[in-house]
Amino acid sequence: MERGPGFEPHPPVAESSASATGWERADEPASARGATSARGVLRELLETAIFILLVFLIVRGVIQNFKIEGQSMEPNLHTGQYILVNKIVYFHFDMNAPLRLLPGNADLASRIVYPFHMPRRGEIVVFEYPRDMSKDYIKRVIGLPGDTVLIKDGQVYVNDQLLDEAYLQGVQTTCRGDDPCNFGQPVTVPQGAVFVMGDNRNNSSDSREWGALPLDGIIGKAWVSYWPRDYWGVIPAGTYPAQP
């Protein structure tokens, strides 16, 4: 075939380039391909492990499991019983904490805010034992900050109102020895604290003995019982008449 002047054959660049690349991949050592694959698997495993750890830490910050040891909450909670504690429900912070960093504000009073709600009368709470912070106790909230608690004739009065404690199943409440509540006078719950007692009133170390429980020592609210299966379910709170 006769070519015209200036005509040059078009070089098959694209086809040659693709062919060359294909041969280079085919010539890649199997050991290198295996190392790349292993690195990919290792990376996926590492990412999965980090994700699981983050989920665990988040859940742990909201819910925690506890095993009940002792009989202080009989007949409602039992030794060896496993429960879940809601830690977020009592989350709180001091609105004035950042302001104390400013000059002249070191003595600024606290302004505590509970986004959800603070502990309520009748709720069962898990907390750090005030006399030994390494131990966790579980009791029921009876009195709130500013309340007066009076134990008289085997019954409990809060702000001069008798509590209907049906969950005690007839057990009477008494004070012992030199307990502050043993002198026939109401005990006033200080600010920043609650008055707690175990349901097994004759076998419980609680606010009758060691005083009010600081709110900052509360870990969370006893929420769900999950083991043994016979006790599975939401842990109910006591319901009391509205207090002034």
pLDDT tens digits, 9-24: 444 433 333 333 443 4
Query: Does 94 fall in a domain?
Result: no
Task: Indicate if 200 and 172 belong to the same structural domain.
Answer: yes
Task: Indicate if 45 and 76 belong to the same structural domain.
Answer: no
Task: Indicate if 58 and 174 belong to the same structural domain.
Answer: no
- pLDDT, one tens digit per residue, over 179-191 is 888 888 899 999 9
* Known catalytic membership, residue 72: yes
Task: Indicate if 132 and 218 belong to the same structural domain.
Answer: yes
pLDDT at 213 over 60: yes
Query: Does 230 fall in a domain?
Result: yes
Work out the average pLDDT over 164-168.
94
Query: Does 112 fall in a domain?
Result: no
Query: Does 98 fall in a domain?
Result: no
> pTM of the entire structure?
0.75
Task: Indicate if 158 and 55 belong to the same structural domain.
Answer: no
Task: Indicate if 74 and 58 belong to the same structural domain.
Answer: no
* Known catalytic membership, residue 37: no
Task: Indicate if 190 and 230 belong to the same structural domain.
Answer: yes
Q: What is the mean pLDDT of the chain?
A: 84
DSSP state of 45: H
Looking at residue 207, what is its pLDDT? 97
Task: Indicate if 142 and 57 belong to the same structural domain.
Answer: no
3-state DSSP: the chain helix, strand, coil percent, rounded to 5?
Answer: 30, 25, 50
- pLDDT, one tens digit per residue, over 22-39 is 434 445 565 556 667 777
What percentage of residues in the chain have a pLDDT greater than 90? 59
Output the CA–CA distances (angstroms, integers) from residue 40 to 28, 37, 121, 123, 221, in the order listed.
18, 5, 55, 51, 44
The CATH number of the domain holding residue 200 is 2.10.109.10
| Residue 61 pLDDT class (50, 70, 90 cuts) | low
pLDDT at 54 over 90: no
Q: Per the residue annotation, which of 17, 37, 67, 72 is the catalytic one?
A: 72
Query: Does 14 fall in a domain?
Result: no
Q: Which of 157, 160, 89, 75 has its CA nearest to residue 123?
A: 89
| Residue 178 pLDDT class (50, 70, 90 cuts) | confident
Task: Indicate if 34 and 84 belong to the same structural domain.
Answer: no
Q: Per the residue annotation, which of 87, 139, 207, 225 is the catalytic one?
A: 139
How far is residue 128's CA from residue 118's CA, in Å, rounded to a whole number? 17
Task: Indicate if 123 and 166 belong to the same structural domain.
Answer: yes
Looking at residue 20, what is its pLDDT? 39
Output the CA–CA distances (angstroms, integers) from residue 231 to 23, 48, 77, 86, 96, in the order listed.
69, 35, 9, 18, 43
Query: Does 123 fall in a domain?
Result: yes
Between 49-53, 70-74, 195-199, the lowest mean confidence (pLDDT) is in: 49-53
Task: Indicate if 46 and 132 belong to the same structural domain.
Answer: no
Looking at residue 30, what is its pLDDT? 59
Respond yes or no on whether the N-terminal peptide bond of residue 75 is cis (omega within 30° of 0).
yes
Looking at residue 5, what is its pLDDT? 40
State which residues form the domain around 228: 68-89+119-234
| Number of domains comprising the chain | 2
Task: Indicate if 54 and 73 belong to the same structural domain.
Answer: no
Query: Does 60 fall in a domain?
Result: yes
Query: Does 24 fall in a domain?
Result: no
Looking at residue 10, what is its pLDDT? 42
DSSP state of 203: S
